[in-house]
Amino acid sequence: MSFFRRHGPSILKFAKITFQFGCFAHCFNSYVAEVTWCVGPSMLPSFNMSGIVAVEHITHHFRDLEIGDVVICMSPAKPGRSVLKRVIGLPGDNICEDPTIEDRKYINIPQGHVWVGGDNLSNSTDSRTYGPVAMGLIKGRVFAKVWPDFELLKNNFYAEVFKQFNYSIAGTMITRGLCYSKPALQVISNNPLRAKEAKGLDISGNYPIFDHEYDAVVVGTGGAGLRAAFGLAEAGFNTACITKLFPTRSHTVAAQGGINAALGNMTEDDWRWHMYDTVKGSDWLGDQDAIHYMCREAPHTVIELEHYGVPFSRTAEGKIYQRAFGGQSLKFGKGGQAYRCTAVADRTGHAILHTLYG
C-alpha cells in the first residue's frame, strides 16, 4: 500500500483541523481578543518599554470609550502601524492641543473622534501630531498586562507585579482620568500615605511614638493641600498629608463662589484680560509673575478639575457655565462685564474637596 493511501486520511484530517483552528484563531484575534507586544517609551511609567498586553475588541462597539481607557489604534500618521495610547478627550470636549508649550491652543473634538496621548508626553507621538483619532481606527481596549518587565524577576518581584497589575486595570478603575498626566491610579499604587518604616521609640509611657519616613509632607488637607499631595504622589514621591481635621471638613468645603478662568464659554474672553483685572484688583501690589501664571493656567486647571470629576454647573449646550463676578471685565476694562466665574452652584469648594479626597 502506498504512503498516501496509508497516511492520506490522517494528513487530510490534520490539515482540516489545522485550517479550522487557524480560522478560529484569526476570527478570535480580529473580533474578540488578542495579546500583542508593545514597544516604546510613550506610555512610561504605566507600561514598560516592552511588554505584552491583552486587548479586547468587543466593548468599544457597544459602549462609549471613557477618559482613562488605554486603547490600541491604527496610527493616522503611519497607516498599517498600531499604537498604544490613552484616551484623554471625548467627542465635544474642548481640550488643550499641547500642554507642554506656553502658547496653548484649544480644540473642540468632533463627533466620532477621540483625543489620545501617551503618558510620557516628552516621548510620545499622539494627537498633538496627527489630531483627533477617528473611532474607526480604534482596534480595541487594553484590559490587562500579560507579563510585566522581566527585570522584575531580579528585584522586588511580587510588589512590582501587583503595582503593575494596578496599572493594567486603569481603564476600568479610572472613570475620569487625569488630562495630560500619569494615571491617577499611580497615586494608589505608590501607597502615598503609608510610611516606609515605622519604629517604636520608648520616649513616653503614655502612648507609642512612631518614626515615619516620607519623601514629602504636606500640611493641611484643603483644596491646595490635597492637590499638592496628589501631584507629589503621582510623580512617584512617597507622600504624607497631615491634618488636624477629617479632610472633608477642611475650610475649602465652605467656599461657595467659584473659580475665575477665561474659558470664554459665555462671552469672548482672554486670560490677559483676567490678568489685568487681577493686577488692578491688587492695586498693582500683587506679584505679577504669579498672577500671569495663575491666569494663563486657570482654563487648563478648571478643565483638569472637570476631568477629575468636579460636577461644574453647565449651560444648555453642556459647556461649563460661567457667571459674572465683581471686578471682572473684558478688553482690559473697556468691554463691560465678564462672565468668567466657573462654579458648582453655590457649593464649589464642597464639590472640589470631596472630589479630590474621594
Number of Cβ atoms within 10 Å of the Cβ of 8 = 11
What is 33-189's CATH number, 1.25.40.80, 2.10.109.10, 3.30.1440.10, 1.10.1060.10? 2.10.109.10
Question: What amino acid is encoded at 54 in this protein?
Answer: A
Helix (H, G, I), strand (E, B) or coil at 199: strand
Confidence at residue 286, expressed as pLDDT on a 0 to 100 scale: 94
H-type alpha helices, the chain:
3-31, 59-62, 127-130, 157-168, 170-173, 185-189, 223-234, 271-281, 288-308, 348-357
pLDDT in tens, 167-184: 333 333 333 333 333 444
Pick from 178, 214, 210, 208: nearest CA to 193? 214
Among all chains, which residue has been given the C-alpha cell 473622534?
A: 113
| pTM for this predicted structure | 0.46
CA–CA separation, 342 and 302 (whole Å): 8
Among all chains, which residue has been given the C-alpha cell 470636549?
A: 93
Name the grid cell of 349: 469648594
Confidence at residue 77, expressed as pLDDT on a 0 to 100 scale: 81
Confidence at residue 147, expressed as pLDDT on a 0 to 100 scale: 62
Please state the domain extents for the chain. Answer: 33-189, 199-251, 257-348
pLDDT-flagged residues of the chain (< 50):
151-202
Confidence at residue 207, expressed as pLDDT on a 0 to 100 scale: 62
CA–CA separation, 45 and 168 (whole Å): 12
- Give the active site residues: 42, 85
Cα 179 to Cα 97, 102, 185, 250, 326: the distances in Å are 11, 17, 13, 26, 30
Residue 333, by phi and psi: left (phi above 0), alpha (psi -120 to 50) or beta?
left
Confidence at residue 302, expressed as pLDDT on a 0 to 100 scale: 96
